[in-house]
Amino acid sequence: EPEVTQTPSHQVTQMGQEVILRCVPISNHLYFYWYRQILGQKVEFLVSFYNNEISEKSEIFDDQFSVERPDGSNFTLKIRSTKLEDSAMYFCASSYGTPNTEAFFGQGTRLTVV
Amino acid sequence: AQSVAQPEDQVNVAEGNPLTVKCTYSVSGNPYLFWYVQYPNRGLQFLLKYITGDNLVKGSYGFEAEFNKSQTSFHLKKPSALVSDSALYFCAVSIYNQGGKLIFGQGTELSVKP
């Protein structure tokens, strides 16, 4: 069964450093997403991406964040200058359509900012 | 503002008994409703969805959910719980023309005891 894969599974970074989280969505999917889950809190939407551009973003997704689909298979989330409060589990997801098509999620990247 | 509420942080059920995990939503427009399950150290797995039509939808692993428009609810049910159903369950809603964004509830921990 096809799946969304994320690397790395765990990333520890110093405050102020740049970090890139990587995802390989399901190959025939057209919509790509990033969500995050701070420990003990809800899963929160960050951004959706379609046709090589952002289609929706949340208030959380400020200028420190960016997304890219560099090569037609990978989908990345970059945080330019990490803060302690960026520590969370980050989930990548993809779907074939929207809004009535289910999204498939990766296993997550746990980001720890120290 | 659009929101999803799962009023119970934890649900405890004996194996073989029926289970219900509650979800209510508040959105403008027609909702598309989803249930996801998260096992430890895994991503979110899609269980079932309501888009339109029959209010009772069936999904994976014997789960079903009932859409109730007047009560704005989408409760997850299973006639006979298994110990292996123990996990974290998330209700989510998607809205037309919002890039496929999912709004999640805070999650309900289901514990099924033998």
- What's the confidence (pLDDT) of residue A10? 97
Q: Is the peptide bond before A70 cis (omega within 30 degrees of 0)?
A: no
C-beta separation of B94 from B34 below 8 A? yes
Is A45 an interface residue toward B (CB < 8 Å)? yes
To the nearest whole Å, the CA of B32 is away from the closest chain A CA by 6
- Average pLDDT of chain B is 94
A15 vs chain B: nearest CA distance in angstroms?
Answer: 25
Write out pLDDT tens, residues A9-56.
Answer: 999 999 999 999 999 999 999 999 999 999 888 899 999 999 999 999
Provide the residue type at B110 as one letter: L
DSSP state letter for B20: E
The Cα–Cα gap between A48 and A54 comes to: 6
* Tens of pLDDT, residues A64-82: 999 999 888 899 999 999 9
* DSSP conformation letters of B33-82: EEEEEE-TTS-EEEEEEE-SS-SEEE-GGG-EEEEETTTTEEEEEESS--
Asked whether the predicted pLDDT for residue B62 surpasses 90, the reply is yes
* Cβ within 8 Å of B, A 65-84: none
Q: Which one of A4, A56, A106 has the shortest CB-CB distance to B99?
A: A56
Beta-carbon separation of B99 and A55 below 8 A: yes
